Amino acid sequence: MDDFSYISYLSDGAILKKIGSFIKSRRIAQHLTQDEVAEKAAISRSTLSLLERGENIALTNLLKVLRVLDALYVFDQFQEIRPISPMQLAKEDEAKWKKRASKSKKSPPKDDLGW
């Protein structure tokens, strides 16, 4: 693993506790009770309580809670970034240059005799 951030050294349980703490602080910041969040997420209050304590719950329930708390942005890092090969970059640059060159070589007006 190339990620040397502190979180890579945490145990699974410690990461679950961090997630639970995040959920709880987000809920409290929005002035929502566990009952309100659980109802909006269509889960039981006890499931939400388990999540906030860092217990293991179903991933779909986590997604529901994050959606209710408007916190799905935490998954932005999961986007796949496909590297572009140097050959592909060169082809794209060549296409851009050809397009620019063709725009600059406009044909003269019909009534222009070229003098």
Extents of the domains making up the chain: 6-75
Q: What is the pLDDT of residues 10-30, one digit of tens each?
A: 999 999 999 999 999 999 999
Options 1.10.260.40, 1.20.20.10, 2.30.31.70, 1.10.220.10; CATH for 6-75 is: 1.10.260.40
Percent of the chain with pLDDT over 70: 85
pTM above 0.75, yes or no: no
- Provide the pLDDT confidence category of residue 108 given band limits of 50, 70 and 90: low
The pLDDT value recorded for residue 104 is 66
Residue type present at position 28? I
* Alpha carbons 68 and 37: distance in angstroms, whole number: 7
For 114, the token pair is: 């070229």
The pLDDT value recorded for residue 114 is 58
* Alpha carbons 110 and 107: distance in angstroms, whole number: 9
91-114: average pLDDT? 72
